[in-house]
Amino acid sequence: MNLQAQQPIGIFDSGIGGLTVAHAISRLLPHENLVYYGDTAHLPYGDKSAEAVRQFSLGITKFLEEQNCKMVVVACNTASAAAFEALQSEFGERILLVNVIDPMVDYVQQHYPTAKVGIIATKGTVNARVYPRKLALKDITDVHALATPLLVHLIEEGFSKHAGSKLLVEEYLNQATLKDIDVLILACTHYPIIKGYIEDFYQKKVEVLDSTLITAEAVKSQLKNLSLLNTQQELGTHHFIVSDYTAAFEQITKLFWGEAVALEKNNIWEKENI
C-alpha cells in the first residue's frame, strides 16, 4: 500500500445514518479531510438483498478510491454485514477499510464479557447473523437480535424528534426478544439520532451502546499505527455527496456541521448526473 497522510478518509452509508459516525470522526480527528457518500437513491439498504447491498458498496468504494481516499469507513451495519469481505478482497491491498461491527464486538468483549446482549438493527443485519457469530467467537453467546426496520424510515423522513418515533421505540423495545438484557447495541448507524428515546425507555437500567465514537477510535488507532494521521495545521475539509437529494440529508448535515455545508448530488450509477 502506498498511502499518504494527507489523503482524505471516505465514509459511506445508505443515507444520513453514517453521518453520526462521520461526525464522531470529525470531532476526534479534526484535521482529517472527509468525503462522505450517502446512497439515498438506494435507501433503505436494510430491506434489500445482500447481493444488492454488496454491489452498491463495491460501486461506492470504487468511487471513494477514485476520490483518492486512504481509508474507507463502511458506516453502515447492513453494508458491513453484507459487503465487508467483498470490499476487502477487491480493495484491501490498496486502501484501508474499517467497518462498524468489529470495533463494537471488541468493545463488548472488553467491557461486558458476561452480559446478556440485545441488538436492534435492520432486517439485513439481523438476517446476516454477523453480530451473534462474531460475539460467539469472543465467548459471548447470550445474544438476542430484533429487526426494527421502521426506525430508519422515520429518521430519514425527519421524524427523529416526533412523538411517533418515541412510541415506535417503546413498541420495539417492549418485545419479548429484548427482555432482561443488560446491554443494547444500536446496530444501525441511524439509531444514535434517536438514542435519547431509547435511553429514556431504559432509565439507565440497560447500557445503550452506539458505534459512533467506538468506530472513530478504531479509525484513529489504525491511522496512528500506520503513521497516516493527517498532521496538517488547518482543520480538515468535509465534502458531502448524495446519490439523490433529500431534505432530511441536508437538514441533518447542517445540524451536525452548521449552515455552510456544501451538498453535491452525484449518482455514480448514472452516466449523466441528473
Judged by CB under 6 A, which of 7, 9, 12, 14 binds ligand DGL?
A: 14
Using CB under 6 A as the binding rule, whether residue 76 contacts ligand DGL is answered as yes
Q: Which residues of 23-35 are buried (b: 16+ CB within 10 A; e: fewer)?
A: bbbbeebeebbbb
Residue closer to ligand DGL (CB basis): 17 or 118: 17
Using CB under 6 A as the binding rule, whether residue 10 contacts ligand DGL is answered as no
Interatomic CA distance for residues 249 and 242, integer angstroms: 8
Judged by CB under 6 A, which of 61, 165, 189, 253 binds ligand DGL?
A: 189
Shortest distance, position 189 Cβ to ligand DGL, whole Å: 4
Interatomic CA distance for residues 102 and 86, integer angstroms: 16
Q: Pairing state of beta strands 143-147 and 183-186?
A: unpaired
Q: Check if the beta carbon of residue 57 is closer than 8 Å to that of residue 45.
A: no
Using CB under 6 A as the binding rule, whether residue 190 contacts ligand DGL is answered as yes
Using CB under 6 A as the binding rule, whether residue 99 contacts ligand DGL is answered as no
Residue closer to ligand DGL (CB basis): 81 or 228: 81
- The H or E element containing residue 99 is strand 96-99
* Region 116-155 residues binding ligand DGL, contact defined as CB under 6 A: 122, 125, 152
Interatomic CA distance for residues 73 and 39, integer angstroms: 14
Site string for ligand DGL, 25-44 (x = CB under 6 A): ------------------xx
For residue 53, give the C-alpha cell.
447491498
- Which residues bind to ligand DGL, rule: CB under 6 A? 13-15, 17, 43-46, 76-78, 122, 125, 152, 188-190
